[in-house]
Amino acid sequence: MTDFSGLLRALAEAGVEFILVGGAAATAHGSARLTLDVDVVYRRTPENLGRLVASLAAHRPYLRGAPAGLPFRWATDTLQRGLNFTLITALGPIDLLGEIAGGGTYEELVVDTELLRIFGVDCRCLSLDRLIAVKRAAGRPRDLEAVAELEAIAEERKR
């Protein structure tokens, strides 16, 4: 089971600048759909990469689905060389995204976030409207049901 509390706490307490997106953001907005991982868009400044590495180091991040024993190093230079990382940690799966299809980077998304207190920590979460817009723009067939539910949530909120 994914330790959502542990993952969000680890990031927030290390001062990582991140935005909760994807299924976990949908859950925060009221989605009833099952999601197994935490998707976050992280800010790619050198300082934030350092905080991100420090935040998860104790939780043994590794490339999710990759064979054991690869020379994967959890370090800032690894993050600098890549952009999006699909990881498994001792707290559960987490996707660290430098940018998202249809949405862009942290700087492009942060204007459409809400500060939510989740399990006692403040987390920036992508707004419901922007989450819908991003998923629509990404245009992935597997997202159609999720978009339909998110739009239904928006409609229910307005009732």
Minimum distance from CB of 118 to another protein (Å)?
A: 5
Query: What does the per-residue mask of binding to another protein show for 46-75, with x meaning CB under 8 A?
Result: ------------------------------
Residues whose CB falls within 8 Å of the CB of residue 87, separated by 6 or more in sequence, listed in order: 56, 61, 62, 63, 64, 93, 94, 95, 96
- Assess 130 for contact with another protein (CB under 8 A): yes
- Assess 116 for contact with another protein (CB under 8 A): yes
Q: What are phi and psi of 124, to 5 degrees?
A: -80, 130
The nearer residue to another protein, 27 or 55, going by C-beta atoms, is 27
Taking CB under 8 A as the criterion, which residues in 2-41 touch another protein?
2, 4-5, 24, 27-28, 30-32, 34-36
Q: What are phi and psi of 93, to 5 degrees?
A: -75, 145
- Assess 1 for contact with another protein (CB under 8 A): yes
For residues 125 and 102, give the distance between their C-alpha atoms in angstroms, rounded to a whole number. Answer: 16
Look up residue 128 and give its two tokens.
């419901």
Look up residue 75 and give its two tokens.
């370090």
- Assess 140 for contact with another protein (CB under 8 A): no
Residue 124 and residue 114 in contact, taking contact as beta carbons nearer than 8 Å: yes
- Out of 83, 90, 101, 148, the only residue in the binding site for another protein (CB under 8 A) is 148
Q: For 116, which DSSP code?
A: E
Contacting residues toward another protein, per CB under 8 A: 1-2, 4-5, 24, 27-28, 30-32, 34-36, 111-112, 116-119, 127, 129-130, 132-133, 136, 144-145, 147-149, 151-153, 156-157
